[in-house]
Amino acid sequence: MGAVFNWFLFLSLAALVAGSLLSLSSSPHWFVRGWDFPRVQIVMIGWFLALPLCALRSWGFAAGSPPTWLVIGIAIALTGWHGFRIWPYTTLAKTQAKSTEKSLIQQRSIDPAAIRVVISNVEEENDQYDLWMRVISTADPDVLILLEPDQRWVVAIEKLLLSYPHQVLQPQENWYGMLLLSKLPIEKHEVQFLIQDDVPSIDASLRMKDGTLIRVVAVHPRPPEPIRDHDSTARDAELTLWGKELADEQRPIIIGGDLNDVAWSETTRLFLRLSGLLDPRRGRGFFNSFHADHAYMRFPLDHLFHSDDFTVSQIIRLPHVGSDHFPIQVDLRHSPSRQAEHEELPQKPGDDKKGNTLIERAINDEEIDGDAVRSGKPSIQP
C-alpha cells in the first residue's frame, strides 16, 4: 500500500512536469494555454508532493519508489522553470516603469499631470451594488473601466454614474458589457468589435487636466476555458492587434481591462514587446485580481499597461466588491521628461511573424467574425 501511495505522489509530480512543458506549445487549446496560469501554484504543489515522498523514504516506507535525488531534482527544476517566469513580477526584481517622485505623489489631488485609473470586473451576476459603489467612491478614480455590466448594473449604480460626466456605455447581457467613465473630458471615442461581434472594446481620446490628449483603451477578450470549449485564438489575436496598433501611437497611452491572461504568459509578453508599452506590475508584485473568493487559486488577470510618458505613483488591489475579481487601482503621472529611464521589453527576432500567425489563426477560424478579421485584412480604425 505504501509503494502505491509513493508512486501516486511521484506520478502526480510527473504530471506537473508534463503540464509545464505543454506551455511551450503554440496550440491555442484551452487545456494547453491553461498551464500558463498556475505557475506559483505548480511550484507549491511540487514541493507539497516532493517533501512527503522524501520523508516516507527516510522513514523506510519507500520500497520500490523513485530515489530521493530524482524527486528533489524535479521539485527544484519546477521551481526554477516557473520562478524564471514569475520573478519579474516580484518585489525582488527591477521595476520596468519607474516610480513618481515621492514629493509629487503627495500632491496628487492638485497635480494636473496625475491620473488615477481603476479597472473593475464587476461580475454580471453580482448584486452587491452598494458595496461596489462604496469601494469605488473611496478610491475616487479619474477614469473607471467597468467590465461585465449589464443594463441592470447601469440602473443600479446610477448614483455613482452622476459623478462621471463623461461616459461611454456599452452594457451587454453576455458577460462582456463594458463602461468607460471619466471625470476627464472624452473628446472622441469608438466602441469596436474587433475579433468577435459580441465582445467590445472601447477606444477613446481623453484630455488630462494638464492639457495632454491621451489614448485610453478598454479591453476584455474572451478567455480560453473548458465549459464552452473556447480556445485562446480570439484573445491572442485581439491582444496582438492592439500591440501592433499602439506601437505607432504618438499620444500617451493607457490600455487596461480583464485580459483573461496572466502577466507572465507568452501572449502578454509578446503584446508588450510589439507595443513598446510598460507593465507597472513588473518589480512591484503580482496584485492578483482573480479569484477574489479563493485565495489558493489567484492570478493577475486584470491589467493596465501604459506608454513611457508616465511614471507610476501607486498600484494597489482594492477590497472585495462581491465580484470574483478584485478591482485594481493604478495611479500614474504624466512625466515625459523621464521617458529614457524606463526599460521596455526589447523585441525578439520573429515577434512580428509570431504576431501575424496569431492574427491569421483568427482570420481562418470560422467562428470568429469581428470587424478587424472579417475582411481578411485586420486593422484597427481609430
pLDDT band at 53 (very low <50, low <70, confident <90, very high): confident
Are 55 and 83 in contact by the 8 Å Cβ rule? The answer is: no
pLDDT of residue 379: 59
pLDDT of residue 280: 97
Burial of 18 (0-12, 13-18, 19+ CB in 10 A): exposed
Q: Which CATH number fits domain 102-374: 3.20.20.370, 3.60.10.10, 3.40.50.300, 1.20.58.1880?
A: 3.60.10.10
Q: What is the mean pLDDT of the chain?
A: 90
pLDDT band at 1 (very low <50, low <70, confident <90, very high): very low
DSSP string across 240-302: HHHHHHHTT--S-EEEEEE-SS-TTSHHHHHHHHHH--B-TTTTT-----B-TT-TTS-B--E
Amino acid at 190: E
pLDDT of residue 63: 58
pLDDT band at 218 (very low <50, low <70, confident <90, very high): very high
Structure-model confidence comparison of residues 310 and 69, the more confident one? 310
pLDDT of residue 355: 92
pLDDT of residue 61: 61
pLDDT of residue 93: 95
pLDDT band at 381 (very low <50, low <70, confident <90, very high): low
pLDDT of residue 12: 86
φ, ψ dihedrals at 63, nearest 5°: -60, 120
Span 182-201, mean pLDDT?
Answer: 95
DSSP string across 347-371: PPTTHHHHHHHHHHHHHT-TT---H
Q: How big is the CA angle at 289 (ends 14 and 45), to the nearest 5 degrees?
A: 20
Structure-model confidence comparison of residues 107 and 332, the more confident one? 332
Structure-model confidence comparison of residues 69 and 269, the more confident one? 269
**Residue reference for cell 473593475:** 120
Are 35 and 20 in contact by the 8 Å Cβ rule? The answer is: yes
Are 233 and 27 in contact by the 8 Å Cβ rule? The answer is: no
Structure-model confidence comparison of residues 361 and 5, the more confident one? 361
pLDDT of residue 142: 97
- Residue 197: DSSP 8-state: T
Whether the bond between 306 and the residue before it is cis, its omega within 30 degrees of 0, is no
Are 25 and 16 in contact by the 8 Å Cβ rule? The answer is: no
pLDDT band at 28 (very low <50, low <70, confident <90, very high): confident
pLDDT of residue 181: 98
φ, ψ dihedrals at 209, nearest 5°: -65, -25
**pLDDT 10s digits, 126-182:** 999 999 999 999 999 999 999 999 999 999 999 999 999 999 999 999 999 999 999
Ordered alpha helix ranges (H), 108-232: 129-139, 151-156, 158-161
pLDDT of 337 over the 80 cut: yes
End-to-end distance of the chain based on CA atoms, in angstroms? 65
12-21, 58-67, 182-191, 305-314: least confidently modelled range: 58-67
Q: How far are the Cα atoms of 135, 251, 299, 374 from residue 347, in angstroms, in the given order?
A: 39, 21, 25, 28
pLDDT of 4 over the 80 cut: no
pLDDT of residue 382: 47
pLDDT band at 377 (very low <50, low <70, confident <90, very high): low
Structure-model confidence comparison of residues 316 and 51, the more confident one? 316
Q: How big is the CA angle at 82 (ends 81 and 85), to the nearest 5 degrees?
A: 105
